[in-house]
Structure formats: structure tokens, C-alpha cells
Structure 1
Amino acid sequence: MIATILSTASLAALAAGAGVAQTVHVPEGSGNAVRVVDATTGETLRRIEGVQAVHGLGGAPGVPVLVAGSFAEIERDDAIAAEKPAGVTADEHAAHHKKPERPIGPADAGISLLTVIDAESGEILRRIEVPGAVHHTEVSPDGRFAVATHPAGGGISVVDLHATMVTAFVPTGNMPNYAVFGSDPSIVYVSNAGNGTVSEVDLHRSIVRRNMVAGEMPEHITIDPSAGALFVADAESGRVLEISLESGEAARSFDIGGQIHGLGLAEDGARLIVAGRAEDKLVSVDLADGTMTSAPLGPEPYRLTPVAGTGTFFVSSRAEPKVWIVDAATLAPTGEFSVEGEGHQMVALP
């Protein structure tokens, strides 16, 4: 069923623009659910429950599924039980999912789960075993691939969403943190917080094509394919690096100050918005001349997601169970809503 949905949607996904976001999906971490809210008002439309310790959530405009990653590891018997489709006996399912002789990923890795969710209905379609706790996930623009970062495992799981299975584990570096796609749906960029690099990964070949030096502790990243630029939050140093995708080298550095976390581009690509977690602020960087403006927001602005067509960003707090709706031009909050747990990797969809 998933393969049919995705194969018919792939071309549409590639052709789809961002459009105007209608909903924002907010993973609630320890709340074990994904909250779906109205993109304009923040009003809760529904909650998708049964997604344990959901931290990563990947999706893309025109792609009909979301992929949620759990930061918790579980026992194999629990994983088998969680994956069992309706109408299949426990014995049949256990036989189908017997422990592989040569598991994908590090030999000592634990088991965690990716959950494939119907983006429109919220129905859980499939659960997929992956080697170890998942920090972030991402879905390719054409809906073919999903990737999950494993900080303790030093690499990423590559999932073929048409086959709904892990096809490769690609070692990228110490403590892989975040992943982002550009315009090529077979290339993903992965930040490695433990060794100060960003890896460019070819998903068809399951290889790292090159590593780019990216500060001391690169965490969140965002990309502007039209400008050939990757923006990297060097979290502890409080700066953002702009890396040229052509040369693989840092073209500019923006000193934000204090520990930083989430970042995202304004819809016109002219400004970069950064969450200053340690100093309770948002910072807007004018990419034409590098000038910066800031505005207070707290406590602890954390995850930051642009909401297409609305002129806003959604920003979660790490200290309190809430999300702000922030005007991208003024950096002023125009509303907020409560969540259960913590707001992590949010996804805005048309």
C-alpha cells in the first residue's frame, strides 16, 4: 500500500512547490505523540499517538507520508510486536522478522523504530527497525528515501520508502546530528557534531562522497539550493557558517552569540532566522550584507520551522511545553500554543 501511494505521488512531489502550509506537525518527545495544528492559528486538529519518544520527524511538500524517529531503544520482542500488521498472527510475524544473521548497522547497536505515517489521515502505516536511537529524520523531495541519524552509531540509516525497508547504513562521522536534502533527491547532507564536519551522502551508492569542515560542533543545518549554500549552526560556539556547496568551504561566518539551536530561511531566501537558545533571543541575518537584528524570545527558543505562505516561523521552547508563532519580518510572537512533552523537529505541509 505504501509503495503504491508513493510511486503515484513521486512525480507530483518533485513538481510541487512549497505552497501555503495548512498544517504543522509537532513531535512531542516525551509526550509520545505528534500534534497536528492549524498552520495559521496553532489550533490543535488532532494528535497521532503511539509514537514513543518521537524526536525526529521528516516530510516534504507533495509527499503523502511522514517518517517519525524514536530516540528510545527497545527490546527485539517489543519491536516485533510494534511492527505487526493487523490480520497477521504473532507467530507468523515473528518468523518473518527473525533476527538477521548480518544486521545492517553497527554490530552492537540497539533497536529503535521509524514510524511511517499517512500525512493526511494520521494513520500509522508501518514501523521499521533501525540500528539504534534516532535523533533526526528527513524525507527526500521525491518521497523515495528517508534517512535517520544515529548519534551513538556514527552514521545514518537509509530507508527505501517504496520497499519500506532499511537498505543501507552509511557511516558519516562521530555523532551525526541533522540531515537535509537539496534539489537532488538522491543527495543528503548530514552534520556530524562530534568531528566538526558535514557529510555529502549519495543515497543510490550508499557512500559519503565528501566531507566538509564545519566548525567545532555542527548541529542543525538548512540549505538554499538556488544559492548553492548550506547554513550550519555551530551550536556551542554561537555562530552560523555559510558553506559553499561548490567548493565545500566556509564562505562566511555569522556570530550570533551564546549557544544556538534551530535555524531556517525566510521564504524569499533573503534572511536566515536563528534560535539563540542560551540568550533567549531570535536573530535575523540579512544574507545580502550580513547585518543582524535580534529580538527577545524565551525561555530557551529551541526548534525553528518556517511555515510557507504565512510569513511566520514556529519556534518551540526547550524549557516549557509550548510553541510560539513568530512573525518572520518583525521576530515578534503573534501567538502560542501548548504541547505535551517537548516540541522537536516540526514539519509544515500544504
Structure 2
Amino acid sequence: MQVQPVDPAGMLGRAVDALAVEVARQWRAELSARGLGHLDPSAVRWATTSRPVGVPPEEIVGGDRLPPSPVRVTRLRLSGRVEDMARMLANSPARQVAIIGSPGSGKSTLAMLLTLGLLARRQPGDPLPVLVTVSSWDPGREHLDTWLVRRLVELYPALGARGGYGPDAAMWLVDRGLVVPVLDGLDEMAGPAQAPAITALTAAVGRDRPLVVTCRADEYQRAVAQAGSPLARAAVVEIEPVSAADAAAYLPEGQLDGAARWRPVLAHLAAEPDGGLAHVFRTPLMVYLARTAYRAPGSNPAELLTFTEPGNVELHLEDKTIRIWVPHRAFTAT
């Protein structure tokens, strides 16, 4: 039987409140740094995956919420936006979800938005969502909770300081279930560790502890297959492609003379919503690169219409964005 640490003078409550403020500040700043501060969260859509990676519906929502016999529900058809996912988690008995998607589909962005959405819905006493990258966890060497306590102290040093909230604040938060781990990037773990991570996560969170995990879709499907069982009671949702209309709304937003400079591209997207350029903009990453590459006054987004192959558009945007991020530096031999 695990002995819960004592919380002297109510320091735990103050630690939770302070951490909530810090987590919200951190991820709002990160979204802004990525140029996504004005991103409308409603543009990020998700739906239940059709991949064979999830538990039966009754494990996710509870048998009493399904239609009575003889109707048999084989797959939940959940879908929505960021705010709908936060609501789904709040209403789900297990409060567990795995977010999967293709490379560049916006899994990390959705994890940030979901973390902020859960913080906004949080009531006093509710667990606190904390987003951490999971790539450094070795499930064969360290229990999830041990690793999580260590990462919390590394990310938020006040939780480990002898002053303030006491040196055991992070342990209190985890042991008392006051942290919702939002684990980003399961696919970034070493390949051999991914399947054991599914098994270790299931053992750690059980049937009723909240959890959010993100992973590339193919890697997640492979890890679940190798593990031999799905992740706990998690609903598995897949990020849907960005629509041409959503891309068109986001590309010129907040830019000087943006509407005029982007007009030819927006007209093209409206005329060919399933065309090659719209296909490039199916991932938030490419939309972000295009917006970054042509955000400066005087730049000409219509250049994108001169390419005939989607792959060449992607290479152009990557190259142009790198040139913006890493200014050219001349070196003189001496």
C-alpha cells in the first residue's frame, strides 16, 4: 500500500494554482512563437480512426451509454474540433485519448490547444493538464510516474525547490492524481521502446486515470500490434486534413495587405479545392510554412501557382522558410 505524502499548510493547492498559470503561459507563448497565436482552434478537426487500434466502444464510454440489445455498436463515430475533444474527455469515464495523424498533421499543435482548452474548463480540484514530450521516457527502466515527477521538476523548478511548495510538490501532484499527462510524440521514442510504452502506459493509468498521448498514425498502429493490446481505455482519434477553405482563411490573416497579396492563391483554392495546391495545404505544417514564407510586405504568394507538382511546392516552402529562419552569413578566409 502506497503512503501518500502529507501536504503541510495546504501548499499543494497553491502549487496546483501556480502550475496552472505557468502551463497556460508556456503554451500560449509557444503557439505565438510558432505563428499560431491567431489560429482559430475550430479549424483543427478530428474523428475516430478507422484503424484497428482501439478498445471496444463500451470500454470507452461505458456500456450504459450504448444502445440496448440487439443493436451492436462496433465503432464509435466521434468527431469535432478542439473544444469538442475537451468536452469528450470531461464526459468520458476513462478520460483517455490517443491523438494520431500523418507527419505534419498538427498533433503537437492539437496537444497544445487541448491543454489550453482543458485548463480553461478546469474547475477547482480538477486535475491539471501538463504537456510534456515523451521521447526521453524509457518504459523498460522507469515507471511512468517516476519519470513524470522528474520531468515536472525539470520543467518547473519551483516544484522541486526546498522553499515555496516544498521539495515533494511534484510527487504530491502525481501521487494524488492532480496531473493529466499530455504526452506528446510517442513516435519520437526509440522504435523498440514504442510497443513496451503502450503496455507500460496501460499498466500505469489503468481504467480510470486520465491520459492524452500523441503519435504518428502508422507508428501507433505498429506499436499497438506489437504490444498485442490497445492503450488502456483510450479513444483513438485521427486528425483530419485541413480543408481548402480553412487554409484560405488562415493564410492571409493578420498580414499587411495580406488579402490583396494572397488573392490569386485564395481564388485558386476556391476554384480547385481538391487540386494540387489544396493537397499541399492539407497539413497545418504546410499552411504554416506558406504563411511564414510570405508574411513580409512585398512578398508574392502567387509564386506558388507556378509549380505544377505538389512536391515541388513543399520543397520551395521548406527552402524559403529556412532562408527566413537562418539568415545567410558570409565567411571570409583569413
TM-score normalised by the chain length of structure 1: 0.26
Q: Tell me which structure has the larger Cα radius of gyration.
A: 2
- Structure ranking higher in helix proportion: 2
Structure having greater relative contact order (Cα 8 Å, sep ≥ 6): 2
TM-score normalised by the chain length of structure 2: 0.26
- Structure ranking higher in strand proportion: 1
